[in-house]
Amino acid sequence: MCVCCLCAQAQVQYTQLFDNNFKTLEVSDKGIISLNGDEVLNINFDELSFESKNYSYKIMYCNADWRVSNLAEFEYLDGMNLVDIEDYRHSVNTFVEYTHYAFSFPNERIKPKISGNYLVQVFESGIPDNILLQARVYVLDKEANVVGKVRTNTDLGTNTKYQQIDFDVITDKNISDPFSEIKVCVQQNHRTDNEVKDIKPSFISRNKLTFSNNPKLVFEAGNEYRSLDISNLRLLDDNVKNKSFDEHYSLWLEDKSRSDKAYKFTRDINGGFIVNLQNNNYEDDVEADYIYAGFTLAAKTPFLDGNVYLTGGFNAQLLNNRMQYDNELKHYVAYQWLKQGGYNYQYLFVPRGETRGSAAKIEGSFWETENEYEVFVYYRPVGSRYDGLIGYLSVSVR
């Protein structure tokens, strides 16, 4: 096996853009489809170039931990694992020129054979080892019913700054050793930095696995996401303090910490975004322009015990946009290209030496916050070589 393949197998794979020319990666329906079902995922992205190129994609199968599996392609795919992206269009009447690419999965050329985690990787045709972007996709073969609820009377206190999820996995499958054959992952608002894995059932009955009163399933509640609406540049949010134009539009946002403020409910989409252009005469996908946004967070002095990150669905909620502190202006700053539409975002603090972000220090953390929790249940019986996805649950606090 080649060295690059071994490296890929050792690394956890995320939905991610690897080239700065690519923006606005979208996967429909949370990236979840049913095995042998009629659902189709629509995957699209932009390249900040008016020169159309030939791109292709391939599918990798991953274990429950999102490390590339050692399964052969014929074991998890029906079809040739190399598909050209034929749907592309140039932007129309935009100051920032780009090309919009789109494709669907599964399709008549390629289909999944088994349930589990699939990784869609895009590359320039003929250069399959140079991955430009990739997206996580879940294929569900529902053989277990997952039911649960989120509560605010947690193991760390009642109605404080935490939320806790309890759930049951109900299945008729003959699971000989639930502690080793079942793997569960729990995510809050599609984040991966604070996801919970390697949890074991608290109780086991004949056909039910109960996960309750587990300290690992206590999450910091955080706060409702901040919002930015740039669907109409004539009507901007109050936190947008400056707008300018020099070959393209630029915005300057000024935010402050909310950790010392009382909780206030505002509707959000839990970190997501929607491409939308008000009063457009064509299509949002190719008529929406790109805006260069400068995000600033006021701070009298920099944090010496950690770093601040700007996160949202625009970067798959990854901790990859670290903010820099400006000593003269007394604020943190980060920049982001955004396609016109509506965006949720937040500022996360990551203590030195840690990889999990915390909202409490900047955004505050309140038990009332509306959050979405997702539970993924995988099953690998003795003798099997892959983690099949047999159960899924999405549940919100409200």
Low-confidence ranges of the chain (pLDDT < 70): 1-9, 280
pLDDT of residue 6: 53
Return the closest-CA partner of residue 115 out of 68, 170, 75.
75
**Same structural domain for residues 241 and 346?**
yes
Total length of the chain: 398
pLDDT of residue 235: 86
What is the residue range of 300's domain? Answer: 226-351
In a domain, 316, yes or no: yes
Residues 6+ apart with CB under 8 A from 234: none
**Same structural domain for residues 80 and 169?**
no
Residues 6+ apart with CB under 8 A from 86: 103
**Same structural domain for residues 271 and 379?**
no
Structure tokens at 192: 């991966």
The number of domains in the chain is 3
**Same structural domain for residues 129 and 232?**
no
**Same structural domain for residues 336 and 314?**
yes
Instruction: Decide: helix, strand or coil at residue 97.
Output: coil
In a domain, 292, yes or no: yes
**Same structural domain for residues 102 and 34?**
yes
Domain-terminating residue out of 123, 140, 157: 140
pLDDT of residue 291: 97
Cα separation, 299 vs 333, in Å, equals 10
pLDDT of residue 297: 98
In a domain, 359, yes or no: no
**Same structural domain for residues 381 and 321?**
no
What would the pLDDT profile of 80-107 be if each residue is shown by its tens digit?
999 999 999 999 999 999 999 999 999 9
**Same structural domain for residues 72 and 173?**
no
**Any idea what the CATH number is for the domain that residue 174 is in?**
2.60.40
Cα separation, 163 vs 159, in Å, equals 8
Q: What is the percentage of the chain residues whose pLDDT exceeds 70? A: 97
In a domain, 365, yes or no: no
**Same structural domain for residues 277 and 390?**
no
In a domain, 366, yes or no: no
User: Are the C-beta atoms of residues 140 and 33 closer than 8 Å to each other?
Assistant: yes
In a domain, 344, yes or no: yes
Domain-terminating residue out of 114, 140, 166: 140
Amino acid sitting at position 230: I
pLDDT of residue 7: 57
pLDDT of residue 206: 86
Domain-terminating residue out of 90, 125, 140: 140
**Same structural domain for residues 120 and 170?**
no
pLDDT of residue 3: 47
**Same structural domain for residues 11 and 125?**
yes
User: Are the C-beta atoms of residues 22 and 47 closer than 8 Å to each other?
Assistant: yes
Cα separation, 6 vs 22, in Å, equals 26
**In this structure, are strands 157-158 and 153-154 parallel, antiparallel, or unpaired?**
antiparallel
**Same structural domain for residues 23 and 73?**
yes
Q: What is the DSSP string of 286-335?
A: HHPPEEEEEEEEE-SS--SSEEEEEESGGGTT-S--B-EEETTTTEEEEE
